[in-house]
Amino acid sequence: MRYCIFCGVKIPADAKFCQNCGKEQPETSGANAPEVTADETTDPATGVLASPKAKIMVGVGVFVVMIAVFTGTMILVNAK
Ligand SMILES: [Zn+2]
């Protein structure tokens, strides 16, 4: 018996897929199991990136767009 690397439920040692979440399991050895980083976690409910880093990146993107719009407005005002 071992555990699903994604949701943690008990699964048969020879199971290729988790019976709970359906995710494919790595080879039984477990030595070369893929490392799941926090940056790649997604919210299962929405499918949207849920990591704090992703939210920061979205925030920075919005900020940059606002600066670009503001700068463009200033240029138009000064051109008149
Ligand atoms: Zn699972």
Q: Provide the token pair at 16.
A: 């290729």
Report the alpha-carbon distance of residue 79 to residue 73 in Å, rounded.
10
pLDDT above 70: percentage of residues in the chain: 74
Distance between Cα 24 and ligand 1 center (Å):
8
Q: Are residues 42 and 32 in the same domain?
A: no
- Give the pLDDT band (50/70/90) at residue 17: very high
d(CA 5, ligand 1 centre) in Å:
7
CA atoms within 13 A on the CB side of 59: 6
**80 and 53 in one domain?**
yes
- Domain that residue 73 falls in: 38-80
User: Cα of 21 to ligand 1 centre, how many Å?
Assistant: 4
Q: What is the pLDDT of residue 18?
A: 94
CA of 54 to the centre of ligand 1 (A): 24
pLDDT at 26 over 60: yes
Tell me, yes or no, whether 68 and 58 share the same domain: yes
Instruction: Report residue 4 as tokens.
Output: 């699903």
**Does residue 31 register a pLDDT over 70?**
no
Residues 67 and 48 in one domain: yes
Note whether 9 and 27 are same-domain residues. yes
Number of domains observed in the structure of the chain: 2
